[in-house]
């Protein structure tokens, strides 16, 4: 028996759910809900570490770097999910935030458990991705023992990249191979070892924080409005119009007209309305302000 694995919080038997299989349907659901309610507190306890990670990621992007999520199983899938949402939500280049899972894309749909033990492949992934000292690698592993993830972080460290770990146990193997370790400890799962439950929920919350707060610091929002979204379907065009209206106080017809004039660029449309500039000049000012709409509007107002 592996003593490390046996000592993990995520591998313990939950004393509150011992007779889970004898519960009524409603009792099972209540127990799961009670256990899930512990997750936000566990995440709150590690906000200082999350803040350090966000500041690192912000600096990485400001200096032309990229962000890589590396994980296995549920952890890998959650990383891929968060990465895939960044382009439509924040208008980012798909290469800016990348998610990679042990076993490749097939493992997103079919469990390929053995790959998490493949250290050689974890190190090779970093090489294939062309990770440099400008980049950041976030390794995600509930147990903190996935060799695929540990090897990825180890290789990233050797290259000089920033490294961040997300794990659900204290004093994990992952902790020693990352610059910042985020460890929301949620306790034993309802079903022993099923870390797709509380551990996975905690990871999802932390990943939400990492990507969202980093993008906000990069000027990807205006107040709490998603101004850098890509209006790639009917729903997102409608959302863009509502965002323009909320940011400018204009009516639907005006918002629609400016969205069309801005080639469906929501942020540019708002900039044009707020400043009276035509699209080309408005875009230039936005670029000078590194894409920050609020800064661009204030800069233009001070100039004029």
- Examine the residue annotation and report whether 22 is marked as an active-site residue of this protein: no
Tell me, what CATH number does 146's domain have? 3.40.50.10490
CA–CA separation, 199 vs 186, rounded Å? Answer: 6
- Examine the residue annotation and report whether 116 is marked as an active-site residue of this protein: yes
Mark which of 185, 217, 249 sits at the end of a domain. Answer: 217
Is residue 225 domain-resident? no
Number of domains into which the chain is organized: 2
Pair of tokens at residue 150 = 């540990």
Q: Are residues 53 and 195 in the same domain?
A: yes
Of the residues 116, 121, 189, 283, only one is catalytic, namely 116
Q: Are residues 134 and 254 in the same domain?
A: no
Q: Are residues 124 and 239 in the same domain?
A: no
Is residue 112 domain-resident? yes
As a residue count, the chain comes to 304
State which residues form the domain around 295. Answer: 234-303
Q: Are residues 156 and 123 in the same domain?
A: yes
Q: Are residues 49 and 174 in the same domain?
A: yes
Q: Are residues 199 and 124 in the same domain?
A: yes
Q: Are residues 187 and 62 in the same domain?
A: yes
Is residue 279 domain-resident? yes
Residues 242-249: contacts with CB under 8 Å, at least 24 apart: 243/270, 244/269, 244/270, 244/273, 247/222, 247/223, 247/274, 248/273, 248/274
Strand order in the sheet with 162-166: 97-101, 67-71, 136-140, 162-166, 180-182
Is residue 270 domain-resident? yes
Is residue 227 domain-resident? no
Is residue 1 domain-resident? no
Beta strand ranges found along the chain (DSSP E) = 67-71, 97-101, 136-140, 162-166, 180-182
Tell me, what CATH number does 257's domain have? 1.10.8.1080
Of the residues 11, 12, 26, 85, only one is catalytic, namely 85
CA–CA separation, 207 vs 18, rounded Å? Answer: 31
Is residue 121 domain-resident? yes
Is residue 260 domain-resident? yes
Q: Are residues 152 and 16 in the same domain?
A: yes
Q: Are residues 211 and 240 in the same domain?
A: no
Tens-binned pLDDT, residue by residue, of the chain (304 aa):
577 887 899 999 999 999 999 999 999 999 999 999 999 999 999 999 999 999 999 999 999 999 999 999 999 999 999 999 999 999 999 999 999 999 888 888 887 777 788 999 999 999 999 999 999 999 999 999 999 999 999 999 999 999 999 999 999 999 999 999 999 999 999 999 999 999 999 999 999 999 999 999 999 999 999 999 888 899 999 999 999 999 999 999 999 999 999 999 999 999 999 999 999 999 999 999 999 999 999 988 765 4
């Amino acid at each position: 028996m592996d003593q490390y694995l046996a000592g993990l919080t995520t591998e313990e038997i939950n004393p509150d759910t011992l007779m889970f299989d004898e519960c009524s349907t409603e009792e099972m659901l209540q127990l799961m809900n009670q256990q899930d309610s512990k997750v936000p507190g566990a995440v709150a306890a590690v906000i200082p570490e999350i803040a350090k990670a966000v500041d690192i990621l912000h600096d990485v992007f400001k200096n032309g770097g990229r962000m890589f999520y590396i994980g296995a199983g549920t952890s890998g899938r959650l990383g891929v999910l968060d990465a895939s949402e960044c382009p439509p939500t924040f208008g980012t280049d798909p290469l800016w935030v990348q998610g990679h899972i042990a076993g490749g894309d097939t493992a997103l749909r079919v469990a390929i458990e053995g790959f998490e033990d493949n250290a050689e492949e974890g190190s090779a992934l970093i090489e294939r991705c062309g990770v440099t000292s400008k980049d950041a690698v976030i390794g995600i592993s509930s147990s903190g023992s996935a060799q695929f993830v540990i090897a990825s972080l180890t290789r990233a460290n050797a290259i000089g990249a920033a490294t961040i770990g997300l794990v659900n146990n204290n004093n994990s193997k992952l902790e020693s191979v990352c610059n910042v370790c985020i460890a929301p400890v949620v306790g034993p799962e309802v079903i022993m070892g099923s870390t797709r439950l509380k551990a996975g929920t905690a990871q999802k919350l932390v990943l939400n924080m990492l990507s969202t707060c980093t993008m906000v610091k990069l000027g990807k929002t205006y107040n709490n409005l998603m101004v850098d979204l890509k209006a790639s379907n009917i729903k997102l065009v409608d959302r863009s119009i509502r965002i323009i209206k909320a940011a400018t106080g204009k009516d639907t017809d005006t918002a629609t007209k400016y969205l069309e004039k801005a080639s469906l660029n929501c942020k540019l449309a708002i900039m044009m309305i707020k400043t009276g500039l035509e699209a080309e000049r408005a875009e230039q000012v936005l670029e000078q302000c590194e894409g920050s709409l609020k800064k661009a509007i204030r800069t233009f107002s001070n100039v004029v």
